[in-house]
Amino acid sequence: MNPLVTPGIGLLIWQVITFLVVLFLLSKFAWKPIMAALREREDNIDAALSMAEKAKLEMQALKADNERLLTEARVERDRILKDASEAANHLVETARTKASEEGARLVEQARVSIENEKNAALTEVKNLAASLSIDIAEKLLRRELQDQQAQRALVESYLRDAEVSLK
Protein backbone atom coordinates (compact mmCIF):
# COMPACT_ATOMS: atom_id res chain seq x y z
CA MET A 1 0.00 0.00 0.00
CA ASN A 2 1.03 3.44 -0.50
CA PRO A 3 2.50 5.11 2.61
CA LEU A 4 0.84 8.38 1.72
CA VAL A 5 -2.63 6.93 1.91
CA THR A 6 -2.24 4.74 5.03
CA PRO A 7 -0.43 6.24 7.94
CA GLY A 8 1.99 4.27 9.99
CA ILE A 9 1.32 3.07 13.53
CA GLY A 10 3.95 5.33 15.02
CA LEU A 11 2.40 8.34 13.38
CA LEU A 12 -1.01 7.36 14.73
CA ILE A 13 0.30 7.01 18.26
CA TRP A 14 2.01 10.39 18.09
CA GLN A 15 -1.15 11.97 16.75
CA VAL A 16 -3.22 10.45 19.57
CA ILE A 17 -0.66 11.60 22.16
CA THR A 18 -0.59 15.06 20.63
CA PHE A 19 -4.38 15.15 20.57
CA LEU A 20 -4.55 14.12 24.23
CA VAL A 21 -1.94 16.75 25.20
CA VAL A 22 -3.85 19.43 23.27
CA LEU A 23 -7.07 18.21 24.85
CA PHE A 24 -5.52 18.35 28.33
CA LEU A 25 -4.06 21.81 27.72
CA LEU A 26 -7.34 23.07 26.30
CA SER A 27 -9.32 21.65 29.22
CA LYS A 28 -6.83 23.06 31.73
CA PHE A 29 -6.32 26.54 30.26
CA ALA A 30 -8.81 27.29 27.53
CA TRP A 31 -11.91 25.26 28.39
CA LYS A 32 -12.69 27.14 31.64
CA PRO A 33 -12.43 30.64 30.11
CA ILE A 34 -14.47 29.54 27.10
CA MET A 35 -17.13 27.99 29.33
CA ALA A 36 -17.10 31.06 31.59
CA ALA A 37 -17.54 33.31 28.55
CA LEU A 38 -20.41 31.13 27.34
CA ARG A 39 -22.04 31.19 30.80
CA GLU A 40 -21.58 34.96 30.97
CA ARG A 41 -23.15 35.37 27.54
CA GLU A 42 -26.02 33.10 28.55
CA ASP A 43 -26.50 35.14 31.73
CA ASN A 44 -26.44 38.37 29.71
CA ILE A 45 -29.03 36.98 27.32
CA ASP A 46 -31.22 35.85 30.26
CA ALA A 47 -30.84 39.28 31.88
CA ALA A 48 -31.73 40.98 28.61
CA LEU A 49 -34.79 38.73 28.23
CA SER A 50 -35.93 39.43 31.79
CA MET A 51 -35.38 43.17 31.27
CA ALA A 52 -37.39 42.98 28.05
CA GLU A 53 -40.16 41.16 29.93
CA LYS A 54 -40.05 43.81 32.68
CA ALA A 55 -40.17 46.57 30.07
CA LYS A 56 -43.10 44.82 28.41
CA LEU A 57 -44.94 44.63 31.76
CA GLU A 58 -44.12 48.28 32.47
CA MET A 59 -45.40 49.27 29.04
CA GLN A 60 -48.63 47.36 29.67
CA ALA A 61 -48.98 49.10 33.06
CA LEU A 62 -48.30 52.48 31.45
CA LYS A 63 -50.80 51.71 28.72
CA ALA A 64 -53.41 50.75 31.34
CA ASP A 65 -52.64 53.97 33.27
CA ASN A 66 -52.94 56.00 30.08
CA GLU A 67 -56.28 54.38 29.28
CA ARG A 68 -57.50 55.05 32.81
CA LEU A 69 -56.35 58.68 32.64
CA LEU A 70 -57.94 59.07 29.22
CA THR A 71 -61.21 57.65 30.54
CA GLU A 72 -61.08 59.97 33.55
CA ALA A 73 -60.35 62.93 31.26
CA ARG A 74 -63.32 62.04 29.07
CA VAL A 75 -65.59 61.76 32.11
CA GLU A 76 -64.30 65.12 33.39
CA ARG A 77 -64.80 66.69 29.95
CA ASP A 78 -68.37 65.38 29.78
CA ARG A 79 -69.07 66.70 33.29
CA ILE A 80 -67.64 70.12 32.45
CA LEU A 81 -69.67 70.28 29.23
CA LYS A 82 -72.82 69.26 31.11
CA ASP A 83 -72.17 71.89 33.80
CA ALA A 84 -71.52 74.56 31.16
CA SER A 85 -74.71 73.61 29.31
CA GLU A 86 -76.73 73.76 32.52
CA ALA A 87 -75.19 77.13 33.41
CA ALA A 88 -75.99 78.48 29.94
CA ASN A 89 -79.57 77.22 30.17
CA HIS A 90 -79.89 78.79 33.61
CA LEU A 91 -78.56 82.12 32.30
CA VAL A 92 -80.95 82.04 29.35
CA GLU A 93 -83.88 81.19 31.60
CA THR A 94 -82.92 83.93 34.06
CA ALA A 95 -82.62 86.46 31.23
CA ARG A 96 -85.97 85.33 29.82
CA THR A 97 -87.63 85.68 33.24
CA LYS A 98 -86.11 89.12 33.79
CA ALA A 99 -87.22 90.22 30.31
CA SER A 100 -90.77 89.00 31.00
CA GLU A 101 -90.85 90.77 34.34
CA GLU A 102 -89.46 93.97 32.80
CA GLY A 103 -92.02 93.77 29.97
CA ALA A 104 -94.86 93.24 32.43
CA ARG A 105 -93.59 96.16 34.53
CA LEU A 106 -93.39 98.43 31.45
CA VAL A 107 -96.91 97.41 30.35
CA GLU A 108 -98.25 98.09 33.85
CA GLN A 109 -96.40 101.40 33.95
CA ALA A 110 -97.85 102.34 30.54
CA ARG A 111 -101.34 101.32 31.69
CA VAL A 112 -101.02 103.44 34.84
CA SER A 113 -99.69 106.35 32.77
CA ILE A 114 -102.58 106.05 30.30
CA GLU A 115 -105.05 105.87 33.19
CA ASN A 116 -103.50 108.99 34.74
CA GLU A 117 -103.61 110.84 31.41
CA LYS A 118 -107.23 109.75 30.92
CA ASN A 119 -108.16 110.97 34.41
CA ALA A 120 -106.34 114.25 33.79
CA ALA A 121 -108.17 114.68 30.48
CA LEU A 122 -111.54 113.91 32.10
CA THR A 123 -110.77 116.35 34.90
CA GLU A 124 -109.87 118.97 32.35
CA VAL A 125 -113.09 118.31 30.41
CA LYS A 126 -115.11 118.49 33.64
CA ASN A 127 -113.37 121.72 34.60
CA LEU A 128 -114.00 123.11 31.13
CA ALA A 129 -117.66 122.03 31.28
CA ALA A 130 -118.01 123.57 34.75
CA SER A 131 -116.35 126.76 33.59
CA LEU A 132 -118.56 126.84 30.51
CA SER A 133 -121.65 126.23 32.65
CA ILE A 134 -120.65 129.02 34.99
CA ASP A 135 -120.07 131.34 32.03
CA ILE A 136 -123.42 130.40 30.55
CA ALA A 137 -125.16 130.85 33.88
CA GLU A 138 -123.48 134.19 34.37
CA LYS A 139 -124.48 135.40 30.94
CA LEU A 140 -128.00 134.07 31.45
CA LEU A 141 -128.37 135.91 34.67
CA ARG A 142 -127.22 139.11 33.06
CA ARG A 143 -129.60 138.73 30.17
CA GLU A 144 -132.44 137.42 32.25
CA LEU A 145 -132.92 140.82 33.60
CA GLN A 146 -133.35 142.20 30.11
CA ASP A 147 -135.39 139.87 27.86
CA GLN A 148 -136.81 136.30 28.07
CA GLN A 149 -136.59 135.56 24.35
CA ALA A 150 -133.05 136.84 24.10
CA GLN A 151 -132.15 134.66 27.03
CA ARG A 152 -133.41 131.50 25.19
CA ALA A 153 -131.63 132.39 22.02
CA LEU A 154 -128.43 132.91 23.98
CA VAL A 155 -128.73 129.54 25.76
CA GLU A 156 -129.35 127.74 22.46
CA SER A 157 -126.37 129.48 20.94
CA TYR A 158 -124.17 128.43 23.86
CA LEU A 159 -125.45 124.89 23.64
CA ARG A 160 -124.62 124.71 19.93
CA ASP A 161 -121.14 126.07 20.67
CA ALA A 162 -120.72 123.53 23.47
CA GLU A 163 -121.74 120.64 21.16
CA VAL A 164 -119.32 121.80 18.48
CA SER A 165 -116.49 122.05 21.06
CA LEU A 166 -117.14 118.57 22.41
CA LYS A 167 -116.98 116.95 19.03
For the chain, the domain total comes to 1
pLDDT above 60 for 51: yes
Which of helix, strand or coil describes residue 40? helix
User: Does residue 1 lie within any of the structural domains?
Assistant: no
Length of the chain: 167
Range of the domain at 131: 9-166
pLDDT above 80 for 153: no
**DSSP secondary structure code for residue 145 in this structure:** T
User: Does residue 76 lie within any of the structural domains?
Assistant: yes
Of 52 and 145, the structure prediction assigns the larger pLDDT to: 52
User: Does residue 2 lie within any of the structural domains?
Assistant: no
pLDDT above 70 for 37: yes
pLDDT above 80 for 96: yes
pLDDT at 125: 85
User: Does residue 146 lie within any of the structural domains?
Assistant: yes
Nearest to 166 by CA among 117, 119, 133: 133
pLDDT above 90 for 12: no
Residue partners of 143: CB distance under 8 A and separation at least 6: 150, 151, 154
